[in-house]
Structure 1
Amino acid sequence: MDGMTEPTGLPESSLSTASSASASASASASASASASGSASGSAASWAGLPDWEKRFRAPRVSLPDWAEDAPARALFVSNATGTYELYAWDRDTGGQRQVTDRPNGTTDGVLSPDGEWIWWFADTDGDEFGVWMRQPFAGGPDEPAVAGLAASYPAGLALGRDGTAVVGRSTEEEGTTVHVVRPGGLPVEIYRHRESAGVGDLSRDGTLVALEHTEHGDAMHAALRVVRLDGSLVAELDDTKGGTKDLGLTVMGFAPVEGDGRLLIGHQRRGRWEPMIWDVASGRETELGLDLPGDVGAEWFPDGSGLLIAHDFEARTELWRYDIASGRLTRLDTPAGSVSGATARPDGSVEYLWSSAAEPPVVRSSTGAVVLDPPGPKAPPSVAVEDVWVDGPGGRVHALVQRPEGAAGPLPTVFDLHGGPAWHYSDTFAAGPAAWLDHGYAVVRVNYRGSTGYGREWTDALRHRVGLIELEDVTAVREWAVSSGLADPERLVLTGGSWGGYLTLLGLGTQPDVWAVGIADVPVADYVTAYRDQMEALRPLDRTLFGGSPEEVPERFRASSPITYVDEVRAPVYIAAGLNDPRCPIRQVENYVERLAARGAVHEVYRYDAGHGSLVVEERIKQVRQELEFAARHLPSATGTRPEGG
């Protein structure tokens, strides 16, 4: 289940590509200059708010995506109205307008190459099951973007210059299907498989489609296939063949040059993600051999002469330009911190969304300019992170540590576990952890085994002992935090969202004497029921992690399921769950809660009408407020006295 983060509308990858985008990581993000202020409110009301609320309410924008053939036309996401929605931006005139307006928000959108159309994905109340709609860039009524395709979960989208669309879909009945839709025509299916797959990109001339697939049964490591628009095979690349394993590939984009069939892809042949150029016609593979220690992502510069390189290493990001002709790598000047998205513009400049744990996000340019500055008050700064490395059973574990300014330990300490599991915490601005800091807590965020950014072996280490491996790393960091004098061992809070929520409930049951309070957002609580109820595309990942289905390896699912240990839980538990969540469905949460209630365990459950997290600012603030209040009620005092009922 993908990591649940604060809803910024931003893709989790480091680079944003305008030519194609999957539905789960497409154009997104920001605020309209004309939209003033449900998020920010009046100046008077803003002045009376605590800083932690201001950080959520402050208008935010994503990195603008732009149309390949009309680069002055851009699309972004913003919370300016109090809900994250899509916005159109004409960079020539400066005009901005809100494109979508839905109760639960919208973040998945794509611009057509000519900039004439905005495609956006319409689900129902956050359930991620729906259809693509489209709207003219200049404004006008929404209309179905594709006739003849029933609702589904999205599995990628690529738009061509002649109006052709390549649409990926996922359903329980059909598995993954890919359809070509020509202007005025009906969808033609060109791919179908039960295992997970998705649309990667469409070549500039509109003749080749790059697909990622896991037909070999390993959902963690995709293979690539390039086909023509009729589905006929052009080329295949599969790094899991020939005696190798655990080597994945990913599509980064076709060359932006007419008639150029080169495909930029990511590979893991040297133990980390790095780019390679694959000529699909000749089969020639050109590895770049970049001398950078961390994971490397890339996208083409618009003229095809170079690559924009994003280097993620030890929770920070660097940007580089790679010149293809000379092989020269040139560092771009970016501040210390993390880049959540970057794109190269036709004039050769680079725009990127930057933040650090202490400083709020801003869209910058390599020219030194601020590209897109949302209106209204700015978010208050927070506290910088410290890097801590702790020896764990699987190697050194990296943790990002924050403590309230001027505070001396031992402190009540929140161990915040990220979602994913294939994701990682970085030195980025986050309103959630900052809220805990404002209330006197230290915050420790652990990049446990399974996290990205520390090499392939670290990411792939979860198999068969799912959840238990991650908690071993959390234990190592917790022991450091206590022995170093940072954390009060009687006042430890375990929390997280999505996979982090799953680890929270699993940790409360397998380590009942360690944690004083547990707070789980949209968690997996009963893994077998979650497997049966979740969206189709996630089941292959679970089979890969566990080595089979619940029927094939029941003992592994039992050992890794929080409900197995629910009777051991001693700490008060707070759970927030979306009623329409397709990733961590509500029924399995209810099963766990019923078991807690049957034994009279201290718990609270908050159910809300959304999916895997909320895109509504007020809803998110409400949830954080409830979590803070729950912890305050149930944590022991500094002297070790637990409140009544705790």
Structure 2
Amino acid sequence: MSHDIERYLNVRRARGASFGPNGDRVGFLLDTTGVPQVWSLAGPGAWPDQHTVFEERVTFVSWSPERHEFVFGMDEGGNERAQLHRYDLASGEVTNLTATPEAKHRWGGWSHDGDRFAFTSNRRDASVFDVYVQGRDDVGDGAEPVYEGDGWLTVGGFSPDDSSLLVSEAYSNVDQDVYVLDVDTGELTRLTPHEGTVRFRSAEWGPDGESVYLVSDRESNTLDLWRVTVADGTFSLVASDPEWGIDGVAVDDESGRVVYTTNVDGYTELAVGDLDGDTIDPLPTPDLPRGIAGGVAFDPDGDRFAVTVTRRGSPANVYVVNATTGAAERWTRASTVGIPSESFIQPELIHYPTFDGRDIPAFFSVPDDDTGHGETPVIVDIHGGPESQRRPSFAAVTQYFLANGYAVFEPNVRGSAGYGTAYSRLDDVENRMDAVADVEAGVAWLREHPAVDSDRIVAMGGSYGGFVVLAAMTEYPDVWAAGIDIVGIANFVTFLENTGEWRRDLREAEYGSLAEDRELLESISPLNTIEEVRAPLFVLHGANDPRVPVSEAHRLVEAARDHVPVRELIFEDEGHGLSKLENRVEAYSAVVAFLDEHVR
């Protein structure tokens, strides 16, 4: 039985867990009301309590380590200028702690006594982030600036004695540094000096505060787990995988316990152990479903940890794992709104050849009723980033398409994360269009597949994926039956000129700079060759998008409407993507109608 798109979009997600101070309650985000709000529960399968009731999305929840209160983040209309709020569990009172709506605020964690918290913000200068520490009772301008930055800074948490903060600085998505910041003196010490581009990510304080654990590709093509001694900057290798990258680490400074995750061809393998300097004494592998796991949060004693798990056959839910035994219990019950879980289709992981002899990984799903006689239309769904990765997590829209006779092809073209540093850099600057050629090679593979109707292949993607859609439609116009561009880049020059000031340097490191690469950027911008498009085009965008301004959509539609059928749909209360349920229902109902008209 097929359900309408609204039913699929109402499938819920529970994620982003945080333990309360007694370890007897877990807070998390749940989108039952249409946008993520803060809920909590006291045990596996217990009836959850809803705490926040806003029309805007909540972006995270972090429980105080000592009090029955938590901090949550919330922006307005998708503008990404998140404010930090404190929620008192006893009274339900909400206090806006930052109250600077023109600025972004990036959460940096509680002090261990729960009296202070840290964050970064671009209050002083819209293009850079400074580090602030604020008392829990202080509001608005009560924050103390402890370091003035000159780039993209993120706080990684207080040291065990609360005297220092971990600070990360990103120069690009593949080049970062990690520092220790003395809160009292403002002295900043770099732990990760390097030449060239090196990733240093997921930094966590060691239990004694004398070392830091992080993942880095400093000596290999993949991310390894390293320990850095704070006093002298000595690096020691802790764990590595010869083929796959370790993509995250969480350390509990009370118990000395560590959890780290490895990305194995899109799936998560999770390891647990007790730290002993440069070594880990392994504990049993958690008994979790195979899928994508992340967002690890320890309980106050470090004996258990919460983790979010999602897979193509099941929406995101929070599990709690006993660290010493590996036993796992699912605490949340995100509803599938009556759609049987067994009807959700699992993808096949395939690899197809591209123009330079490489194999490109992709997930390919076909409807249950496929006959294998070339009758099935296909949606080529291209992820954004570009330093992102399509992984087999639950996707409501994907399941709807599959239930209604469309196959779905999800390539991880060059530039994607998860396949090593060299692969992630293959699309940089002058090599941008090689990623688009990878998409065309995927279409060639599809055309040889016995299930596929080669005259009904659709390109769909969001953000950078929207650029790839537009570029594929201009470079290879005859292979597409239709295109769907969601908050995509139409012209790299106008995109970089108009994107948020805090993002421009990061994006120029990936795409090329306006000062040095303007001619290249113009040459690869789909808007400048839009007359090549032959297929109907649907453009969706949020009016408040701070990353890819809505002007990109308007210029694109104006240029394309003279020679192909074009539909434009703008949401006045959304930003870079669609967060509100009613907007997602309207958007994807319109996408379904568009495909029914031009493809089915």
TM more than 0.5: yes
1:182 & 1:208 partners in 2: Cα distance? 16
Q: Deviations over 1:418-449 (max 9, x none)?
A: 11212111122211111111121111000111
- State the partner residue of 1:562: 526
Give the secondary-structure state (helix, strand or coil) at the position aligned to 1:331.
coil
| 1:496 to partner: Cα distance | 1.0
Structure 2 unmatched runs, 5+: 322-326
1:457 & 1:49 partners in 2: Cα distance? 43
Q: Is the 8 A contact 1:351 1:371 kept in 2?
A: no
- State the partner residue of 2:309: 354
| 1:109 to partner: Cα distance | 3.0
- State the partner residue of 2:365: 402
Q: Deviations over 1:427-483 (max 9, x none)?
A: 222111111111211110001111111111111222113641221211222111112
Q: Is the 8 A contact 2:320 2:328 kept in 1?
A: yes
Matched, 1:531 2:496: yes
Q: Is the 8 A contact 1:450 1:462 kept in 2?
A: yes
Which of 371, 391, 410 in structure 1 is aligned with 2:353? 391
- State the partner residue of 1:85: 37
Q: Deviations over 1:313-336 (max 9, x none)?
A: 111111112332363445333333
Which of 533, 555, 562 in structure 2 is aligned with 1:591? 555
2:85 & 2:239 partners in 1: Cα distance? 42
Question: Judging changes above 3 Å, is the alpha-carbon distance between structure 1 residues 304 and 157 closer, same or farther for their aligned structure 2 residues?
Answer: same
Question: Judging changes above 3 Å, is the alpha-carbon distance between structure 1 residues 322 and 396 closer, same or farther for their aligned structure 2 residues?
Answer: farther
Structure 1 unmatched runs, 5+: 1-47, 638-646
- State the partner residue of 1:265: 214
1:631 & 1:572 partners in 2: Cα distance? 9
Which of 353, 376, 380 in structure 2 is aligned with 1:415? 380
Question: Judging changes above 3 Å, is the alpha-carbon distance between structure 1 residues 439 and 231 closer, same or farther for their aligned structure 2 residues?
Answer: farther
- State the partner residue of 1:101: 53
Matched, 1:278 2:234: no
- Larger deviation, residues 341-350 vs 158-167: 341-350
2:440 & 2:49 partners in 1: Cα distance? 48
Matched, 1:339 2:293: yes
Q: Mapping of 1:180-329 within 5 angstroms?
A: 180-182=133-135, 186-214=142-170, 217-218=171-172, 220-230=174-184, 232-233=186-187, 235-241=189-195, 245-255=196-206, 257=207, 260-269=209-218, 270-291=220-241, 293-296=243-246, 297-301=248-252, 303-325=254-276, 327-329=280-282
| 1:600 to partner: Cα distance | 4.0
1:362 & 1:88 partners in 2: Cα distance? 13
| 1:396 to partner: Cα distance | 1.7
Question: Judging changes above 3 Å, is the alpha-carbon distance between structure 1 residues 197 and 302 closer, same or farther for their aligned structure 2 residues?
Answer: closer
Question: Judging changes above 3 Å, is the alpha-carbon distance between structure 1 residues 108 and 333 closer, same or farther for their aligned structure 2 residues?
Answer: closer
2:577 & 2:98 partners in 1: Cα distance? 28
Give the secondary-structure state (helix, strand or coil) at the position aligned to 1:64.
strand
2:243 & 2:460 partners in 1: Cα distance? 31
One-letter code aligned to 2:316: P
- Larger deviation, residues 469-478 vs 191-200: 191-200
2:144 & 2:489 partners in 1: Cα distance? 37
- Larger deviation, residues 288-297 vs 568-577: 288-297
- Larger deviation, residues 442-451 vs 423-432: 423-432
- State the partner residue of 2:517: 553
2:368 & 2:317 partners in 1: Cα distance? 24
- State the partner residue of 1:482: 447
| 1:229 to partner: Cα distance | 0.6
Q: Is the 8 A contact 1:52 1:434 kept in 2?
A: no
- State the partner residue of 1:642: none
Q: Mapping of 1:5-154 within 5 angstroms?
A: 50=3, 52-67=5-20, 69-90=21-42, 96-146=48-98, 151-154=102-105
2:148 & 2:434 partners in 1: Cα distance? 35
1:267 & 1:513 partners in 2: Cα distance? 42
What TM-score comes out, normalization by structure 2 length?
0.89
Give the secondary-structure state (helix, strand or coil) at the position aligned to 2:450.
coil
What TM-score comes out, normalization by structure 1 length?
0.83
Q: Mapping of 1:415-454 within 5 angstroms?
A: 415-454=380-419
Q: Deviations over 1:491-522 (max 9, x none)?
A: 11000112211211221122211211000111
Q: Is the 8 A contact 2:320 2:329 kept in 1?
A: yes
Q: Deviations over 1:23-45 (max 9, x none)?
A: xxxxxxxxxxxxxxxxxxxxxxx
- State the partner residue of 1:511: 476
Question: Judging changes above 3 Å, is the alpha-carbon distance between structure 1 residues 502 and 375 closer, same or farther for their aligned structure 2 residues?
Answer: closer
Question: Judging changes above 3 Å, is the alpha-carbon distance between structure 1 residues 371 and 417 closer, same or farther for their aligned structure 2 residues?
Answer: same
Q: Is the 8 A contact 1:308 1:344 kept in 2?
A: no
Q: Is the 8 A contact 1:246 1:460 kept in 2?
A: no
2:242 & 2:306 partners in 1: Cα distance? 22
| 1:52 to partner: Cα distance | 4.7
1:319 & 1:266 partners in 2: Cα distance? 15
Question: Judging changes above 3 Å, is the alpha-carbon distance between structure 1 residues 192 and 219 closer, same or farther for their aligned structure 2 residues?
Answer: farther
Q: Deviations over 1:62-119 (max 9, x none)?
A: 142124x432343211122233212244559967433322223222332222243322
1:354 & 1:463 partners in 2: Cα distance? 32
| 1:224 to partner: Cα distance | 1.1
Q: Deviations over 1:542-575 (max 9, x none)?
A: 2101332x23311121123221121211110001
Q: Deviations over 1:339-361 (max 9, x none)?
A: 24444443634433323223343
- Larger deviation, residues 190-199 vs 312-321: 190-199
Question: Judging changes above 3 Å, is the alpha-carbon distance between structure 1 residues 315 and 539 closer, same or farther for their aligned structure 2 residues?
Answer: same
One-letter code aligned to 2:104: Y
2:426 & 2:107 partners in 1: Cα distance? 27
Q: Is the 8 A contact 1:89 1:95 kept in 2?
A: yes
Question: Judging changes above 3 Å, is the alpha-carbon distance between structure 1 residues 363 and 288 closer, same or farther for their aligned structure 2 residues?
Answer: same
1:334 & 1:271 partners in 2: Cα distance? 28
Q: Is the 8 A contact 1:52 1:438 kept in 2?
A: no
Q: Is the 8 A contact 1:416 1:496 kept in 2?
A: yes
